[in-house]
Structures are given as structure tokens and as C-alpha cells.
Structure 1
Amino acid sequence: MMQPDWRPQPPRAASARMSMVMRAVAEYIGRSDLQPGDCLPAERVLMAELSVGRSTLREVIRHWQALGVVESRRGSGTYLLRRISPETMHLPLVVNTGGNGLLQMMEVRRGLEVEASALAAIRASAADLELIESKLLTMEAVFRENGCAGPEDLEFHLSIYDACGNPLFGQLLSQMRESVQTLFAMSRVRTDFASRSFPFHRELFEAIAAKDPDAARAKTLSILAIVEEDIKDMIT
């Protein structure tokens, strides 16, 4: 029998608001004839010009950063990297965050993440490995304390995406932002969600550090298989 109570509901109002602000910012950029390399107006200026809230505006900027549309430089501002308009802007993929949608997302994630792990094993620099290990240590510490580590788990996997040397992987994951966040938030509903995959995360890091792409693929598949099993268990 289906158990609908566990399912985190998609923040439809927030998504609609973000899409509206995204379009408004894109139209503003178009009207202002900003070109790649130009600095965007200060946050307070955009808020006043477009009558938008700070939190949603920052969410749009973070989303575009992940897509490689803008770049924030500390102490300098946010710079346009690619020409953007309402016709060309990237909107998040529409993914059903119910049980079946999460399983569909897992199929896509498996294709992305397995290859990203293998590429990271081939291409990761010493600095990349140091960052991945730091994310792993944080995840392990939180897991030992709380029995789960949803956001920290996500940060670990994102660091592997960054180390694979292909920014398209991170951009594609960003397009599934809402469903990915829903997936990693499941640990708030069921604290042991995917906990059996915990040991494989260190083994995945060790495979990447050893520059063994086949082992990295295998460990990633082991992690994702457990996540998929737990999703199925929660929706049946």
C-alpha cells in the first residue's frame, strides 16, 4: 500500500517565484545590453529595479553560477560570462518529486554520477583530492553524530563532479536541483535512509585517489543501488 505521508512536497510557489525573478533579471540584462565580461548591478540595485526579494535573487544568481552563466568574484561583484535573455535562459528541469519521479531521477543520476566518478579518478588533481577528502571527513563526522548526513553527503558528491574536469556534469545536476534536494532531504524523514551506503563513500574516495576508474564506477553503483532500494522501500 502506498504511504503518501513521507513524500516531501515540491515547493511550487517558491519555484514559480524563482522562475519569475529569473525571467525578470534576464529581461533586465537584455534591456541593459550587458555583455559577457560586464559586471551586473549591485544586489540592492537589482532588488530596487525589479522589486524582488534578496533571497530569491540570490537563488537565481547561485543557479546561474552553477550553469556557468555568471561568476561571483569576492570583493568585486558578479560578472556575466554568457549572453542571457528570456529566450535563452536555463530553467530547472521539471521533475516529479514523488516516488516514481525520484526513481526516474535516479536513473539519470546513475548515468551521470558513475561516469563523473570514473573521470574524477582519471583527472582529479592533488587539490581536488584534498577537497573531496575534506567533504568526506565532514560527512563522516556528521553521520557518526546524527546517523545521517544529507546535505554533507550531497557536498561530497558535488566535489567529485567538480573534480571530473567537465563542467557539464555539474550544470546537469543543477538542472535537477529541486529533486536532488528532495532526495537528500529524505534523511530528515527516515534517519537511516541510505545509511547502508555510508562505508562505500570512503571506498569511492580511495578508488578516485588510487586513480582506478573501474573501482570508482563500481563503488558509485553500490551507493546508488542502496539509495534506490531505500526509495522503493519508502514508497511501497
Structure 2
Amino acid sequence: MTRATLSATLQPLPTLDRARQVTSALAHYIADVQLKAGDRLPAERELMATLAVGRSTIREAIRHFQALGVIETRKGSGTYLLRPISPDTVHLPLSLDTTRLRDVLLQTLQVRRGIECEAGMVAAQMRTADDLVIIEDKLVTMETVHLEKGSSGPEDLAFHLAVYDATHNPLFRQILEQMRESFEHFWASPFDRKDFARRSFPFHRTLFDAIAAQDPEGARRETLKILAVVEEDIKEMSQ
């Protein structure tokens, strides 16, 4: 593929929200040139030059498509389309009005409650011994950071992602990827309070225990305890 052909459908992007714009631009490009399953996408360096963005931005967009299960990267070969997509068929990241943080967190919590309760129950049924090793490793890291710093943002997210992966249903992680912008507010010291949801910390261990014991109802119960603390803190700290 020549640079002229690539430039005909892709243009340099403005500076705001680059990763999301790269995701949208690639969806348009795939549709415009009618790439089919198995076709190779332009190389990173071509996309960087054409869109005028950095390597990390390109890779973030690629990771988004990988999470959706529509592309795969083959080491030493390139990135390939697994199924055709377009701006109308690929779900781009969802977002909410973050100027009203309290409302955003409560709305996101409603979605989390349904997804995470179900994910915990499915993980308890489907988890393997290898899954338990990964979940506990993320949990121990979270516990260590929490005890040292009093908070554990990225580590908390890594624990929940490991639970999602233990369901062996890729849709759970894909849904989280769709709402990552909104969900990340839960792991970014909302209201500038590092102690946000600190009281939920012990229930992560009991959630792991329920998953290890293959106890779906127990996993649901412990997840609800975590989210109840989160809801209480949102309402209290936003007053």
C-alpha cells in the first residue's frame, strides 16, 4: 500500500483525544478501503506518519480493537483484521458528562453492579486453576499497594480484569473496554480522596475466596458488598 493511497483516506488529527480519534479513523479507513477478514492493516510507522500521532497512541487504539476481538497482531508479521468493521458496526468507547462527577459515578455504578455481579458468578463457575493463580497474584499486589499507600487504583482495576478474564467470556472485558473512560473514575481518587472505597478492601479477598470455592452466590454477595461501600462513599464524599 502506497503512502498516497493511505493519505487519501487518513488525515493528520488535531491534538484533542487522539487515541479515540485514531480508533474512529481506523474504523472509517477499514470501511472505506473495504478491508476483509485476513487483510493486513497499515504498519505502525505508516499510521504514525499519516495521522501525525505517536506510537503509544497508535498502540492504544490497536489494543482497543484487540479487546473487541476484531484484530490480532502477529509477531514479526503485522496486524490483521479478524472481521470487517465500520463506524456503524464497531462500538467506540462510551462516555458520560464528567463535569457532573457524582452523577457519572452513580450511573456507572448501576452498570457495574449488573456486570460485576454476573462476572463474579460466572468466574466462580468457569475459573481454572491457572485463573486462580492470576487473580490471587493481582489481589496480593493490590493488598500490598493498599497497605503501603492506603489506596490501590490501577491494582484494583487489574484484579477486576482478572476476574473478568476468568469467566472465559470475552464480552465481559469488551464491555469494560467500552466504558473504560467512565469506569476509570473509580480508580482515580474521585473527589481527590485517596480513601475512596477503602472500606471495600477486605471484600476483595472474600470475593476471591468465593471464586476459588466455586460459589457463585458467594461471589455475588461479596461483589455487592464492595459496590455498596462504593455507593456510600460516592454519596458521602460528594456532599
TM more than 0.5: yes
Residue 14 of structure 1: how far off its partner (Å): 7.2
The percentage of aligned residue pairs carrying the same residue is 59
1:224 alignment counterpart: 227
Cα deviation, 1:181-206, whole Å, max 9, x if unaligned, reads 11110169212111111111111001
| Map of 1:43 onto structure 2 | 44
Equivalence for 2:97: 96
Which whole-Å deviations, capped at 9, do the CAs of 1:165-221 have from their partners, x for residues lacking one?
221111111111111111110169212111111111111001000000010000000
**Residue 87 of structure 2 aligns to a residue in which SS?**
coil
TM superposition shift of 1:56: 2.2
Cα deviation, residue 15, structure 1: 6.6
Amino acid at match of 2:211: I
Equivalence for 2:71: 70
Q: Distance in 2 between matches of 1:183 and 1:201?
A: 15
Q: Name the structure 2 match of 1:125.
A: 128
Aligned pair 1:192/2:212, yes or no? no
- Corresponding letter in the other structure for 1:141: T
Q: Which residue of 1 aligns with 2:5?
A: none
More deviation in 90-99 or 207-216? 90-99
The residue that corresponds to 1:60 in the other structure is: 61
Is the contact made by 1:116 and 1:161 (CA closer than 8 Å) also made in structure 2? yes
Distance 1:130 1:72 in 2: 26
Residues 22 and 208 of structure 1: CA distance in aligned 2, closer, same or farther (over 3 Å): same
Name the CA shift for 1:174/1:152 in 2 (closer, same or farther; >3 Å). Answer: same
The correspondence of residues 141-180 of structure 1 with structure 2, limited to 5 A, is: 141-180=144-183
CA distance change for structure 1 residues 203 and 56 in 2, over 3 Å: closer, same or farther? same
Structure 2 counterpart of 1:183: 186
CA contact (8 A) 1:123 1:164 kept: yes
1:5 aligned residue:
none
Calculate the aligned-residue CA RMSD, in Å. Answer: 1.9
Cα distance in 2 between the residues matched to 1:15 and 1:73: 30
5+ residue gaps, structure 2, are 1-13
CA contact (8 A) 1:95 1:105 kept: no
- Tell me which residue corresponds to 1:113: 116
Q: For residue 127 of structure 1, report the CA deviation from its aligned partner.
A: 1.0
- Deviation (angstroms), 1:93: 1.3
Asked if structure 1 preserves the Cα contact closer than 8 Å seen for 2:71 and 2:82, the reply is yes
- Which AA in structure 2 matches 1:120? A
Q: Match of 1:81, as an amino acid?
A: L
Matching residue's letter, 1:51? A
* TM-score (normalizing by structure 2): 0.86
The CA deviation at 1:79 is 2.3
- Distance in 1 (CA, whole Å) between partners of 2:93 and 2:211 is 30
Q: Is the 8 A contact 1:96 1:179 kept in 2?
A: no
Seen in structure 2, the aligned counterparts of structure 1 residues 61 and 158 have a Cα distance that, compared at 3 Å, is same
Residue identity opposite 2:204 in structure 1: H
Conserved? CA contact 1:149–1:187, under 8 Å: no
CA distance in 1: counterparts of 2:136 and 2:16, whole angstroms = 33
Kindly state the Cα deviation for residue 117 of structure 1 after the two structures are TM-superposed: 0.1
Q: Secondary structure at the match of 1:35?
A: coil
Give the TM-score taking structure 1 as reference length: 0.88
